[in-house]
A and B are shown apart, each in its own frame.
Chain A
Amino acid sequence: MDCQKLNQDIENNGAVRIDGINQAAPDCICEKYRMSQFSPNTVDNSENLARFIFSPIHVDRKGRIKPSIFSQIFTTGCSIQRDGIATSNELIDFTQKFLSGDDNRLWKGVLIAKSETVRKIVNSLKNQAICVYDTAEMDNPAHAEMMISYNIAETDRAELTARLYEVFDNQNPISPEKYRNGEIWQELPSDLKRS
C-alpha cells in the first residue's frame, strides 16, 4: 500500500480528505505504512500524542476544554504532535506560526493521550474507530493526525467524541508554562505569549 502517495493525492479539502483515505485504505491500514516522506516512522502505540489548544472557542466559561477541540476527526483530520519525537525547537516554530496567524489565537495548553488508548476506542462492532497517522510536514516532522476510520453515523459522533475527550484527560490540560517545563513558552516572543 502506497500510503504516502495516497496522502499526497487526496484533496486536502474538508471531509473529502477523510472519506478519500478511508475509501482507499479502510480499517486504518495506513497506520502500518509511513504517510509522509518527512515522517521518521509510523506512530507507535507507546507514543504520547499532544493536542495543542489554540482557539478560545474551545474553552468554556470556567476555563475548561470543550470536546469540540476534537471535532476535526470527522472533517479535516485532527492535528496532533508526536510528543516523543518533536524537538523543542520544532514545537517553538510550530507554536509561533500558529499564534502569529491570528491575533485571536492563544495557547491554552496541551492535552496528552497515549496513542494506544486512542486506537483502542471502538465502535459498536468492536472495530477501531479512530486512526492515528504520521502525516508529517516538511517543517513539522512530528505532525500527525487522528481521523475516523469509517463513515460514522450522526447518532454515534458525539459519543465517539466523548470517548476521545476522556482519553485525552480533558480535566487536566498542561499549561504552556508547565509543558516541557516551560521550554516552549519561554522562547515565544512576548507578543505571542497569550494564554
Chain B
Amino acid sequence: MNPSSLKGTAAVAAQFLLLGITSAAPNLDVSEFKYSTHKTQTSPNWVRADNSTSMIFDGINSCPTQSNSEFLVHSDISLVKTIDPRSLIPLTGNRSTTLQETLVGEIRSWGLLNDNWDGEGSLKPHSQSSKEAVSFVNLLGETITAPEPMLLSSGHIALFWNDHNLYADIEFLGDGRIAYFIKVNDDKHKGVLEFDSQQMPTVFKAILLC
C-alpha cells in the first residue's frame, strides 16, 4: 500500500467505531493487533502494510491515531477481516464513549507502565489479569453502577464499588480466578472462584446485578 493512502485510511478509520468484527472473529481483541510506527523495524515478521491488510483504529483502544505515521504490520495478523469503512457507523454526533469503554481504556492504558510505576516497587500490570478484568467489564452491561478499576501493587487488576450500601473489591488473579470481597449493608461475601471470561459468575449476578 502506498504510504499516503494508508495515512488516509488511518485518518478516516479513526473516526469510526469498529462494528462487525466480532461476528467475523468473536474472540478477537482489538488491543492485541500488532503494529509498529517505526520505519526502522527490520524483524522479518514485520511487513509494510499493503492492500490486503485492514488496519483497525477504534479511537478508544491503543491503536495508533497519528495521521502522519507510516505503519508496518505483523505478518501473523491473519484473523483480520477487511472491512469496508462505509459499513462502519461514525462516532461523531450520535454516540459518546460509554463508561464501560472508558474503564476498558483506562485498564489498557496501564499496560504501558513498568515495574515500580508507583515509586514503591510495585509490579507492572499483569497482562492476563488485565484481560480478565476487561472481559468482566464487558459482561457487566450498563445496568449497574460502573466500578472503579484498580491497579494493585502485585500488578493485578481489581474492580471496586463503594456506593450507598455496597462495598465490593474484585481482584483478577490472572489465572482464570477471581478473589472477591463484597459487603452489602452488613452482609459480607468473600471467596475465590473460577472465571472463564465468557459468563458472569452467578454470585456476582445475584449481588452486583440485582
Report Cα–Cα, A64/B150, bound state, in Å: 12
| Residue in B123, B171, B177, B183 whose CB lies within 8 Å of A75 | B123
Residue of B nearest to A97 (CB): B119
Q: Which of A13, A54, A58, A72 gathers the greatest number of chain B CB atoms within 10 Å?
A: A72
B62 within 8 A of A: no
Within 8 A of A (CB), among B165-210: 167, 169-171, 173, 177, 179-181, 183, 188, 190-192
Give the residue name and chain of the A residue nearest to B179 (CB): A154
Identify which of B1-9, B46-54, B65-73, B151-159 touches chain A: B151-159
User: Within residues 1 to 38 of chain A, which ones have a CB less than 8 A from any CB in chain B?
Assistant: 12-14
List residues of chain B with CB within 8 A of the CB of A105. 119
**B110/A57 in contact, CB under 8 A:** yes
Whether B118 sits at the interface, judged by CB under 8 Å, is: yes
The answer to whether A76 and B160 touch (CB under 8 A), given A14-B121, A159-B188, A162-B183, is no
Bound CA span A54–B121, Å: 14
B192 touches A68 (CB 8 A): no
Q: Which of A67, A72, A76, A155 meets B150, CB within 8 Å?
A: A67
CB within 8 Å of A: which of B102-126?
110, 117-123
Taking CB atoms, residues of chain A closer than 8 Å to B160 are 60, 66-68
Chain B proximity mask over A43-58: 1 for CB below 8 Å, otherwise 0: 0000000000011011
Cβ A158 vs Cβ B181 within 8 A: yes
**How many residues of chain B get a CB closer than 8 Å to chain A's CBs?**
31
Known: A102-B119, A155-B190, A158-B181. A64 touches B173 (CB 8 A): no
| Total A-B residue contacts, Cβ distance less than 8 Å | 87
Residues of A within 8 A of B192 (CB): 154-155
A72 contacts B173, C-beta separation under 8 Å: no
- With the chains together, A160 CA to B190 CA distance in Å? 11
Most buried by B among A76, A98, A101, A158: A158
> Which chain A positions have C-beta within 8 A of B123?
14, 75
Q: Verify A162–B169 contact, CB threshold 8 A.
A: yes
The residue on B at minimum CB distance from A166 is B167
One of B120, B169, B173, B183 near A161 (C-beta < 8 A): B169
A102–B121 Cα gap in the complex (Å)?
14
Please state if B167 and A162 are interface contacts (CB–CB under 8 Å): yes
Chain A residue numbers with a CB within 8 Å of B171 are: 154, 157-158
Q: Are A72 and B153 in contact (CB under 8 A)?
A: yes
Known contacts A66-B150, A158-B190, A162-B167; decide if A75 and B121 are in contact (CB<8 Å). Answer: yes
A68 to B152, Cβ gap below 8 A? yes
Nearest B residue (CB) for A161: B169
CA–CA, A133 and B194, complex, Å: 36
Task: List chain B residues, Cβ under 8 A from A75.
Answer: 121-123, 153-154
Asked if A74 lies at the interface with its beta carbon under 8 angstroms from chain B, I say yes
Assembly CA distance A154 to B177 (angstroms) = 10
Min distance, Cβ A12 to any Cβ of chain B, angstroms: 8
The answer to whether B173 touches A68, judged by C-beta atoms less than 8 angstroms apart, is no
Task: Answer yes or no: B76 CB below 8 A from chain A CBs.
Answer: no
9 A-B Cβ contacts within 8 A? A68-B158, A72-B120, A74-B154, A75-B123, A75-B153, A155-B190, A155-B192, A159-B188, A159-B190
Which B residues have a C-beta under 8 Å from some C-beta of A? 110, 117-123, 148, 150-154, 158, 160, 162, 167, 169-171, 173, 177, 179-181, 183, 188, 190-192
Q: Residues of A at under 8 Å CB distance from B?
A: 12-14, 54-55, 57-58, 60-61, 64, 66-68, 71-72, 74-76, 78-79, 98, 101-102, 105, 154-159, 161-162
